[in-house]
Amino acid sequence: MSQSALIQTAAVILLGGLAQWIGTVARVPSILLLLAFGFVAGPVARNLAPGWSLEPDALFGNLLLPFVALAVALILFEGGLNLSFREIRGVRGVVALLVTAGAVATGILAAAAAGLTLGLSFELTLLLGAILTVTGPTVVLPLLRHIKPAGRVAAVLKWEGIVVDPVGALLAVLVFEVVTGHRLDDPVRHAGLAVLTTLVIGGGLGAAGALVLVAGLRSYWVPDHLQNPIATMLVVAAYVGANQVQAESGLLAVTVMGIVLANQRAVSIRSILEFKENLRVLLLSTVFILLSARMTVQDLASVGPGVAVFIAALILVVRPLSVALSTAGSRLSWRERAFVAWMAPRGIVAAAVTSVFALALEKQGLREARLLVPVMFTTIVATVIVYGLSGSTVARWLGLSDRDPQGFLIVGAHALARDLARCLAAHDIRTLLVDTNRAEIDAARAAGLSAVHASILADDVPDRLDLAGIGRLLALTANDEVNVLATERFAPLFGRANVYRLPPKGSERGRPTIERHAAGRVAFRADLTMPRLSELVASGARVTSMTLTDPVELASRRGAAAGDPVLLVVVPEPGRAQLVVAGDRPTPRPGHVVIMLARDASQIA
């Protein structure tokens, strides 16, 4: 391997990881940064510093598009692993219409818009419209993770983004065959046969791959350390096998395989899901960098000003009309319908399919086909920018999202947890209690608190909970193992920095029953275990809150005798809270509300 190839390969990984990290820290959709980094490393550097530019075609050669295709397959499989039928209970009809009638409407309207604004031939407008029916998990899922919309819209958009990809790809294949003159003798019969073949072969191979994996795991034929390699092998086999029978049916195969695995209850697939989530981030970063780096400034300049009108039509006319058709008479509120109508970014599948078809059409002498790639790339960039920058604002305006949710999901509904939840709620901080003890849940509800009777470790709990306004987890059970597992379970959802647990038993004596580096940040104080909390409560300590007037007195008491008040939470203003963690020494100011565990109010006066 030449040093140049090694440097370019390393640059792709470095730029992808850097874009993901900056996006997370700056709270900017990482997709925007991936596109920007790839464009700067490719076409910009190609014009300003040719020796330092990223050249994906030279780096990968004929392997570039196959690599992108397999990456898309693995990304769609991972997306399917996140699709639970429970989360779309009540809106399954909406999802079905979005990926069928909505997709057809999108294709027809997008083709009409392209014909009116881009000046392309009738054949190319049909093909472009068919490709634009896809949205894709590569852009929808990162944006949803950034926006965090509440209610059912996240599930609807996630399902649509994943399921519509194989539907749109198949539609594009059928249009392509008509455009190139194939099957013109009986196009309706051919289209019906292709759809049937895709459903039978693609769906069948996907379901078979999932069942084979489940059987292997259930019978212990697959060792634990080989679960992920075997799963990846079966995904690739299903994808390639289906494509050999019917073009692009492999996308349906991997999607079905993921959905079947996600909804079976015979074996746990948590380790596979965690691995695929990490792999998805790497693949997504790599593919977006490579595809954006392939573009040239000349290609982008060749699309003309009409592309701006075309993209505006997609956002303001095509998407709202297709969503209105698909959601008519549904249970979605007008706010939810409006948000779904304002979220249709295009991603990798659209770019990959366009690249393949444009190259094939150019080889057949249709020179105008070279315009498809810059038009699609411009559409991807523009839609990601528009939806990425406006999505959070629109969701908040519609009351469906909170940019920085301050609420707490509290595991445990005992008296101390209820008192803490009551104090937080009194200062406009949402709480939700979860416990397996029915009596404790009833007591919480009687006190006017939101509470759910369930095990925090149950597979379906994240789908059952209304987490609007909640961005943190606080595990307060007497079972140290449950506390650790709860933080592990919700760390991917809230982020590792936002999951907290009590210190394990024995910490007050320096001999914890669980390693200190176990998942979750230690809440309150390193020695404040559940037995110690129980002793304090038995001695008369209660959770109480007050507005601070003298921080000097508070600071002098912290860390003193065991009977002194324990600072739990600082509320600098209504709706915002800072949970105290072990080793942290917050400095509340006059006017801040402090929530304490104290024997009586005079201790913190």
Reported as a single tens digit per residue, the pLDDT across 139-185 is 787 778 777 777 678 888 888 888 887 887 778 777 777 766 655 56
For residue 488, pLDDT over 70 is answered with yes
pLDDT computed for residue 2 by the predictor: 56
| 73 and 98 both lie in a single domain | yes
**What's the average model confidence in pLDDT over 592-601?**
76
pLDDT computed for residue 1 by the predictor: 47
For residue 317, pLDDT over 90 is answered with yes
Low-confidence winner among 160-164, 297-301, 590-594 (lowest mean pLDDT): 297-301
| 373 and 470 both lie in a single domain | no
The rounded mean pLDDT for the chain is: 81
| 338 and 438 both lie in a single domain | no
> 2 lies in a domain?
no
DSSP type of residue 399: T
> 509 lies in a domain?
yes
For residue 602, pLDDT over 50 is answered with no
pLDDT computed for residue 315 by the predictor: 93
The proportion of the chain whose per-residue pLDDT surpasses 70, expressed as a percent, equals: 89
- What's the domain range around 439? 407-604
Question: Which one has a higher pLDDT value, 397 or 370?
Answer: 397
> 92 lies in a domain?
yes
pLDDT computed for residue 67 by the predictor: 86
**C-alpha neighbours within 13 Å on the C-beta side of residue 18:** 11
> 381 lies in a domain?
yes
| 432 and 367 both lie in a single domain | no
Q: How far apart are CA 46 and CA 35, in angstroms?
A: 16
| 492 and 377 both lie in a single domain | no
For residue 346, pLDDT over 90 is answered with no
CA dihedral sign of residues 11, 12, 15, 18: negative
Contact, 441 vs 452, CB < 8 A?
Answer: yes
| 458 and 512 both lie in a single domain | yes
Which CATH number do you get for residue 543? 3.40.50.720
pLDDT computed for residue 342 by the predictor: 92
Low-confidence winner among 248-262, 353-367, 413-427, 506-520 (lowest mean pLDDT): 506-520
**What's the average model confidence in pLDDT over 314-324?**
93
pLDDT computed for residue 339 by the predictor: 92
Q: What is the pLDDT confidence band of residue 605, given thresholds at 50, 70 and 90?
A: very low
| 414 and 381 both lie in a single domain | no
DSSP letters along 470-491, please? EEEEEE--S-HHHHHHHHHHHH
Tokens describing residue 484 = 């650790």
Q: How far is CA 270 from the centre of its chain?
A: 16
Indicate the number of domains in the chain. Answer: 2
Contact, 594 vs 570, CB < 8 A?
Answer: yes
* Final residue belonging to a domain, choices 397, 427, 454: 397
Quickly count helices (H) and strands (E) in the chain. 27, 10
* Final residue belonging to a domain, choices 397, 420, 436: 397
| 297 and 276 both lie in a single domain | yes
> 558 lies in a domain?
yes
| 304 and 436 both lie in a single domain | no
pLDDT computed for residue 212 by the predictor: 92
Q: Provide the 10 A C-beta neighbour count for residue 386.
A: 17
Low-confidence winner among 68-82, 133-147, 303-317, 327-341 (lowest mean pLDDT): 133-147
| 242 and 387 both lie in a single domain | yes
The proportion of the chain whose per-residue pLDDT surpasses 90, expressed as a percent, equals: 9
Closest CA to 248 of 51, 76, 35, 26: 76
> 335 lies in a domain?
yes
- Rounded to two decimals, what is the model's pTM? 0.70
**What's the average model confidence in pLDDT over 41-49?**
83
**What's the average model confidence in pLDDT over 395-400?**
84
Alpha-helical segments (H) within 317-432: 319-327, 334-341, 348-363, 372-397, 415-425
Tokens describing residue 148 = 């965090």
| 347 and 451 both lie in a single domain | no
Contact, 472 vs 408, CB < 8 A?
Answer: yes
pLDDT computed for residue 178 by the predictor: 72
Closest CA to 285 of 20, 26, 67: 20
> 50 lies in a domain?
no
Give SS3 for 433. Answer: strand
**Please, is 245 exposed, middle or buried when counting C-beta atoms within 10 Å of its C-beta (0-12, 13-18, 19+)?**
middle
| 427 and 356 both lie in a single domain | no
* Final residue belonging to a domain, choices 397, 428, 463: 397
pLDDT computed for residue 26 by the predictor: 75
Q: What is the pLDDT confidence band of residue 525, given thresholds at 50, 70 and 90?
A: confident
Low-confidence winner among 29-43, 182-196, 268-282, 337-351 (lowest mean pLDDT): 182-196
Which CATH number do you get for residue 205? 1.20.1530.20
> 21 lies in a domain?
no
